[in-house]
A and B are shown apart, each in its own frame.
Chain A
Amino acid sequence: MSTETSPRGSAPGAGVAATDVAVVDHTAAADRRAERMRLLAQPVLVLLLTGGVLAWAFSRDLNATQQASISVANLATLTWQHVLITVAVVVIVVALAVPLGTLLTRPGWTRLAPVFVGIANIGAAAPAIGLLVLFYLATRTTGFWIGVLPIAFYSLLPVLRNTILGYQQVDPTLIDAGRGQGMSARTVLRRVEFPMAVPYILAGLRTSLVLAVGTATLCFLVSAGGLGVLIDTGYKLRDNVTLVVGAVLAVSLALLVDWLGALAEVYLGPKGLR
């Protein structure tokens, strides 16, 4: 068996392959340009949204009830709580889903993959509000972790699914090549398979991040705070100013987090695949 050393594909039918590659490169370049534009535009949009809604709210004549919600200190506290919930969720999701996904693609373990994907599916399919309340009923405690853990379970699926997918799409011939060069299975995993799976894992993580920011608006139900407090206060009191401030800040946070995810995809992916 002859091994090709050319970096791009195989030699047979090289003429046809070359034109295909050119077309692919062309659209890929256009995609990259659009992506770069988005990377620039998104933080600007976040700033405009946040600045706009705050300027709008603070320039209004707020009554005593609204002032209790819309104060700099309160907004900062709630936003910070929201960020902490999101960070904790993401850390848990990555720490759980990436090793689990790696394990479930190793020989001998693949049969268990449907079981765990099934469990993660249940987490994603169940309503987040139900998970939160069930988790409270099971533990009879309230607070930060009671808000974080159900949301982590809820956002586990995209990362787990994409980790498994990321490993599955690695060309088996590359693994063979690695083994043929005398690498151990572990070294192949570390130096070949994992780097090639990273873009998929990051794409999954980005989905999870946005899910986590969105569902963290429900964490207030179990005393974990977050921007959901403003949304619920505004809704219950028919106070649209508080409602809009809470909702727009949550949207801005989701856009910001999505942007960070996109940056991670650009800068943390393997160099050769960027």
Chain B
Amino acid sequence: MAGRRKLLLRKVAAFAMVAATAVTLASCGLESGGALPLKVGPGSITPVPELEGVPITVGSKDFTEQIILGYIIEFALSAAGADIRDLTNIQGSNSTRDAQVHGQIDLTYEYTGTGWINYLGHEHPIPDPTAQFEAVRDEDLTRNGLVWTDPAPMNNTYALATSRATAEATGVRTLSEYADLVKRDPAAATTCVETEFNVRQDGYPGMAAAYDFDPAKAQKQILQTGIIYQATADGTQCKFGEVFTTDGRIIALDLVLLDDDRSFFPKYNPALIMREGFAQAHPQVAEVMAPVSAELTDEEITELNRRVDVEGKEPADVAREWLVDKGFVTAAD
């Protein structure tokens, strides 16, 4: 009896230890964040006395562009004197949002379309980018106390792309011309899409409605994202493919983006967002970052994405390189 109880106790103790270890490991997730991997000195961004030594945690989602954008904030504010904690590469949009709402990160670049559709739950985007931004800014402030600063000109949205050869052979350069081709000759317009884009209302079905063609008539193939870029460039299996407008592979594979001439796709302009309290305590952050955001155009960010995704460089290196090239900061060792 006693022996059995001892055994039981030992089992309980072992279980408790395992559980404690698991809890400790799990809690490591979003606790601290790392230090900046590279150092910068002042350029056109000079030290701001009010930001000197202010601890700021910067976050980002887990894809290339977001990580680059995260590092751009970090290096810029580091040059202004802030004490930066790096929390880039958070898994998924929703986790990043939760981290910000709960104060684990202070600052991140968020897209207007994501805010409007995913976080604020609207089904239909606003076609005009400025109106879209203002709508998100006002609603997110009243509902969630989050402040959106002026967005960057870059717009990472959906698009249909095609290879240069297909573009020349078919003469299709806009989505209206694409719609005509689908109506005229569906076989010549085989289109490759992802599972998600195939059903979402701001994806293929909505696009078909906006451009007056029957989505059932289009010949579609459902493929994995990475394969779509390659297969569209090859131009045999996919004449057209769904892409993200700032993906580095667009340059690397020489893809041509079709112009969204009826302005259907949602606008995904990134803007810096922060909690209201943080924005009021540190108004200098928005001032320092405004000229940096203004420089972030589609061409610039696509090239930065290409350096990471195609050339295999580190996002932090690419981000610092860009800030140095633009004269915002200087590289320091």
> Is the CB–CB distance between A140 and B234 below 8 Å?
yes
Q: Is A257 an interface residue (CB 8 A)?
A: no
> Is the CB–CB distance between B195 and A232 below 8 Å?
yes
> Is the CB–CB distance between A233 and B227 below 8 Å?
no
> Is the CB–CB distance between B198 and A233 below 8 Å?
yes
> Is the CB–CB distance between B196 and A223 below 8 Å?
no
Q: Is A168 an interface residue (CB 8 A)?
A: no
> Is the CB–CB distance between B222 and A223 below 8 Å?
yes
Q: Is A225 an interface residue (CB 8 A)?
A: yes
Tell me which residues across on chain B come within 8 A of A79, comparing CB atoms.
none
Tell me which residues across on chain B come within 8 A of A223, comparing CB atoms.
192, 221-223, 237
Interface 1/0 per residue, B93-122 and A, CB below 8 Å: 010000000000000000000000000000
Q: Is A68 an interface residue (CB 8 A)?
A: yes
Closest to B118 in A: A238
- Which residues A64-98 have CB closer than 8 A to chain B? 64-66, 68-69
> Which of B195, B205, B236, B237 lies in contact with A220, CB distance below 8 A?
B195
> Is the CB–CB distance between B199 and A232 below 8 Å?
no
Interface 1/0 per residue, A114-139 and B, CB below 8 Å: 00000000000000000001001100
Complex CA distance for A223 and B201, rounded to whole angstroms: 21
Size range of the chain A interface in the assembly: 20 to 34
> Is the CB–CB distance between B223 and A64 below 8 Å?
no
Tell me which residues across on chain A come within 8 A of B237, comparing CB atoms.
140-143, 223
With A140-B236, A141-B237 already in contact, the answer to whether A236 and B196 are too (CB < 8 A) is: yes
Interface of A is mostly: helix
Interface 1/0 per residue, A220-234 and B, CB below 8 Å: 111101000100110
Complex CA distance for A85 and B234, rounded to whole angstroms: 26
Interface 1/0 per residue, A48-78 and B, CB below 8 Å: 0000000000000001111011000000000
> Which of B194, B195, B223 lies in contact with A142, CB distance below 8 A?
B223
Q: Is B11 an interface residue (CB 8 A)?
A: no
> Which of B94, B196, B205 lies in contact with A233, CB distance below 8 A?
B196
Tell me which residues across on chain B come within 8 A of A220, comparing CB atoms.
195, 222, 224
Size range of the chain B interface in the assembly: 20 to 34
- Which residues B199-240 have CB closer than 8 A to chain A? 199-201, 205, 221-224, 226-227, 230-231, 234, 236-238
Complex CA distance for A69 and B231, rounded to whole angstroms: 24
Closest to B225 in A: A221
Tell me which residues across on chain A come within 8 A of B201, comparing CB atoms.
64-65
Closest to B234 in A: A140
> Is the CB–CB distance between A237 and B223 below 8 Å?
no
> Which of A142, A229, A237, A238 lies in contact with B231, CB distance below 8 A?
A142
> Is the CB–CB distance between B199 and A133 below 8 Å?
no
- For A63, A66, A142, A236, the residue with the greatest tally of chain B CB atoms inside 10 Å of its CB is A142
Tell me which residues across on chain B come within 8 A of A143, comparing CB atoms.
221, 237
Interface 1/0 per residue, B180-200 and A, CB below 8 Å: 000000000000101110111
> Which of B94, B222, B227 lies in contact with A136, CB distance below 8 A?
B227
> Is the CB–CB distance between B221 and A142 below 8 Å?
yes
Tell me which residues across on chain B come within 8 A of A63, comparing CB atoms.
123
Complex CA distance for A225 and B195, rounded to whole angstroms: 10
CB distance from A252 to the nearest CB of B (A): 20
Tell me which residues across on chain B come within 8 A of A142, comparing CB atoms.
192, 221, 223, 227, 231, 237-238
> Is the CB–CB distance between B194 and A221 below 8 Å?
no
Closest to A136 in B: B227
What are 24 pairs between A and B in contact, CB < 8 Å?
A: A65-B199, A65-B201, A68-B198, A68-B205, A69-B199, A133-B226, A140-B230, A140-B231, A141-B236, A141-B237, A142-B221, A142-B223, A220-B195, A220-B224, A222-B224, A223-B221, A223-B223, A229-B195, A229-B222, A233-B198, A233-B199, A236-B195, A236-B196, A237-B199
The 7 residue pairs across chains A and B that have the minimum distance between CB atoms: A221-B224, A236-B196, A68-B199, A223-B221, A233-B195, A232-B195, A142-B237
Given A65-B200, A133-B227, 7 further pairs, Cβ under 8 A: A64-B123, A68-B198, A140-B231, A222-B227, A233-B199, A236-B195, A237-B199
